[in-house]
Structure formats: C-alpha cells, structure tokens
C-alpha cells in the first residue's frame, strides 16, 4: 500500500496541492497518494483522527484550520511554535508532530528562485495576522539588517515585534510612520489583495533594486504590485513560488527527499 497524504481545508476544490505533490512524487519516484479533503468547519479533529487510523502518514492544513492543527499536534517544531499555526502534520504511528513550512517556502522563493539575499537588507513586512506571523522567524533567521512590521492596527504589529525581539532587529510601525523610510524588500502579508485593496504605503518606499513580494497569487498584478511597479521596485513577485516551495518543504519533511520546484512553478504559471 502506498503511503497516504492529504490536504485538509474548507473550501478545498481550488487547492493546487494534490497536483504539486503528485508531480513531486513522480519526479522523485516516491510511492504515495495525496488527496484533497473537504473538512466540515466543526470537524477538523475527528477528520484527522480518522485519517490517522487509516494509516495516513501526514497532512497539509489550509484555511481555516491552521490554528486547530497547532492545537492538535502533540509536539511542535520551533518554527511552528513561533508561528502559532501549523500547515503540516507528521504522523509516525505514535505521536503527532506539527510543523509550519510557510516561512521556509517564502525564504526559499526569495533567496533561491529570485536570487535576492536577505542578509543585511532592510525588510518591510506588511500585516500582523496569521500570514505575517507564520513567516517572521524564518525571515529573521536570514539576518536582515532590520525588519519592520507595519499594520493598520499598530498594537498587533507591536505585539508581534515584541514576541520576536529576541531573534533580530524588529520594530513595529503604522503606515504613516513609514514616511521617509526606504526598504530593499517589501512583503505584503496582509489580506488586502483579496479585496483588491492597497495598504496605505507612502510613496518612495522602495530602495534602489528593491524586491516587492505579494504573498497572494493568482490575482495578476495586485494593487500592491502595481504600486510597487509605479514606485520603481526592481523586481515584482507574487506568492506562487512560495506556494510550491512550502509544499516542497513539507514533502522534504515527510519523505527526506527534496523535489525540484522550478518545473512545477513554471507549469502552474502557464496554466
Ligand atoms: P491572515 O491569516 O491572512 O494573516 P488575518 O489574521 O485576518 O489574516 O490578518 C489580515 C491582515 O491583513 C491584518 O494584518 C490586517 O490589518 P489589521 O490587523 O489592521 O486589520 C491586514 N489587512 C487587511 N486588509 C487590509 C488593507 N486593505 N490595508 C492594510 N492592511 C490590511
């Protein structure tokens, strides 16, 4: 019997994870199945229990269950503990390990695929919700010169900055307070692109050679990326690379084999 994996979410029909993991398995010759499971909004824990009893080896977790997966896990990796959210569960037949591969996926896309080294750079992270929290530790591990968290509700940015202060130079700001600043890397981890909105960034925020990264994908040129282009960012990127890289990191955690992501990103980009 092949090892069983799945992605749990609600909704789930749009998920690209089954396609991505099928390609990874084919590439690496791993014998496994990977399904998309629509889980009832009040039924996460029983659904995971049932999957484990049926010899499931691991699941990815997407909206809206990342917090419940965090609570479900008996043990946590450091990056999941700091993210306070889990997107990958690993079952070894006895215990349940919770991991979070989102931040590693973002960093790998930025550094490896886009060729942009974070070390020594001034980084602006917009947003202070779950998406921002999930990527903070891996970003700080890259040793940026500074990392500023900007949020509409400044208290949430301050709370996050305080939580991560031991891991690097982190400061919090509202958007008005960014006036006059320049950043080498600006990451949109807000949900603004979902609603075709733009966080109220001051102009001239992009330093020469800046990379503007929207963690959203499939939305074309989001208002943030259009702003970045108009304000002379050198490189624009959406979150498709991050999506594939977080999947590759989960695949690696489960199978100890690193799949090639570039052909998968290119194929998804075309479709
Ligand atoms: P997620 O899990 O995607 O992070 P979330 O926890 O609801 O979702 O957080 C959404 C984030 O996007 C928040 O930081 C929110 O700012 P507030 O905390 O001030 O609400 C931010 N956000 C959403 N729409 C925005 C907009 N139009 N401009 C700026 N920030 C926005």
Tell me the pLDDT band of 251, cut-offs 50, 70 and 90: very high
Mean pLDDT of 50-55: 92
Tell me the pLDDT band of 55, cut-offs 50, 70 and 90: confident
Query: From the CA of 189, how far away is ligand 1's center (Å)?
Result: 8
Q: Ligand 1: which of 158, 175, 190 to mutate, most ligand atoms within 8 Å of CB?
A: 190
d(CA 201, CA 224): 9
Does pLDDT of 27 surpass 90?
A: yes
Q: Is 191 in the pocket of ligand 1 (CB under 6 A)?
A: yes
Per-residue pLDDT reduced to its tens digit, 179-238: 999 999 999 999 999 999 999 999 999 999 999 999 999 878 999 999 999 999 999 999
Q: Is 188 in the pocket of ligand 1 (CB under 6 A)?
A: no
Domain over 103-238 is classified CATH 3.40.50.720:
yes
For 75-86, b where at least 16 C-beta lie within 10 A, e where not — what string?
ebbebbebbbbb
Q: Could you tell me if residue 154 is left (phi over 0), alpha (psi between -120 and 50 degrees) or otherwise beta?
A: alpha
Q: Tell me the average pLDDT of the chain.
A: 97
Q: Would you list the DSSP string of 70-139? A: HHH-SEE-HHHHHHT--SEEEE-SS-EEEE--HHHHHHHIIIIIS----TT-EEEEE--SHHHHHHHHHH
Count other C-beta atoms under 10 Å from residue 264's C-beta. 25
Estimate the share of the chain in helix, then strand, then coil, as percent rounded to the nearest 5.
Answer: 40, 25, 35
Q: Determine the 3-state secondary structure of 3 from DSSP.
A: strand
Name the residues annotated as catalytic: 66
Q: Quick one: which atom of ligand 1 is closest to the CA of 131?
A: 4
Q: Is 152 in the pocket of ligand 1 (CB under 6 A)?
A: yes
For the chain, state the CA radius of gyration.
18
Per-residue pLDDT reduced to its tens digit, 62-86: 999 999 999 999 999 999 999 999 9
Q: Is 153 in the pocket of ligand 1 (CB under 6 A)?
A: yes
Tell me the pLDDT band of 54, cut-offs 50, 70 and 90: confident
Query: From the CA of 66, how far away is ligand 1's center (Å)?
Result: 16
d(CA 28, CA 16): 19
What is the fold of 3-100+242-270?
A: Rossmann fold (3.40.50)
Q: Is 85 in the pocket of ligand 1 (CB under 6 A)?
A: no
Q: Ligand 1: which of 63, 65, 85, 127 to mutate, most ligand atoms within 8 Å of CB?
A: 127
pLDDT value of position 220: 85
Count other C-beta atoms under 10 Å from residue 8's C-beta. 24
Tell me the pLDDT band of 142, cut-offs 50, 70 and 90: very high
Taking the domains of the chain in order of start, what are their residue ranges? 3-100+242-270, 103-238
Does pLDDT of 127 surpass 90?
A: yes
Query: From the CA of 252, how far away is ligand 1's center (Å)?
Result: 30
Q: Is 56 in the pocket of ligand 1 (CB under 6 A)?
A: no
Query: From the CA of 53, how far away is ligand 1's center (Å)?
Result: 37
CA 128 to chain centre: 13
Do the domains 3-100+242-270 and 103-238 sit in the same CATH topology, yes or no?
yes
Mean pLDDT of 227-252: 98
């Amino acid at each position: 019997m092949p090892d069983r994996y799945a992605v749990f979410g609600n909704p789930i029909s749009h998920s690209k994870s089954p396609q991505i993991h099928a390609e990874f398995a084919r590439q690496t010759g791993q014998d496994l199945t990977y399904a998309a499971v629509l889980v009832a909004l009040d039924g996460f824990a029983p659904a995971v229990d049932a999957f484990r009893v049926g010899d499931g080896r691991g699941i990815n977790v997407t909206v809206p269950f990342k917090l419940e997966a965090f609570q479900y896990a008996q043990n946590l990796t450091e990056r999941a503990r700091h993210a306070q959210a889990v997107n990958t569960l690993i079952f070894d037949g006895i215990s349940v390990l919770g991991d979070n591969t989102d931040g590693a996926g973002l960093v790998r896309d930025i550094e490896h695929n886009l060729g942009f080294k974070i070390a020594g750079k001034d980084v602006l992270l917009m947003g202070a919700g779950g998406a921002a929290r999930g990527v903070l530790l891996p970003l700080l591990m890259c040793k940026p010169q500074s990392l500023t968290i900007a949020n509409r509700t400044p208290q949430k940015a301050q709370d996050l900055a305080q939580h991560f202060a031991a891991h690097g130079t982190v400061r919090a700001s509202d958007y008005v307070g960014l006036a006059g600043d320049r950043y080498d890397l600006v990451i949109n981890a807000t949900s603004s692109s979902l609603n075709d909105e733009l966080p109220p960034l001051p102009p001239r925020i992009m330093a020469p050679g800046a990379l503007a990264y929207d963690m959203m994908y499939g939305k074309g040129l989001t208002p943030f990326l259009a702003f970045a282009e108009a304000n002379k960012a050198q490189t624009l990127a959406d979150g498709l690379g991050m999506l594939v890289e977080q999947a590759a990191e989960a695949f690696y955690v489960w199978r100890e084999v690193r799949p090639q992501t570039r052909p998968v990103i290119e194929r998804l980009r075309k479709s």
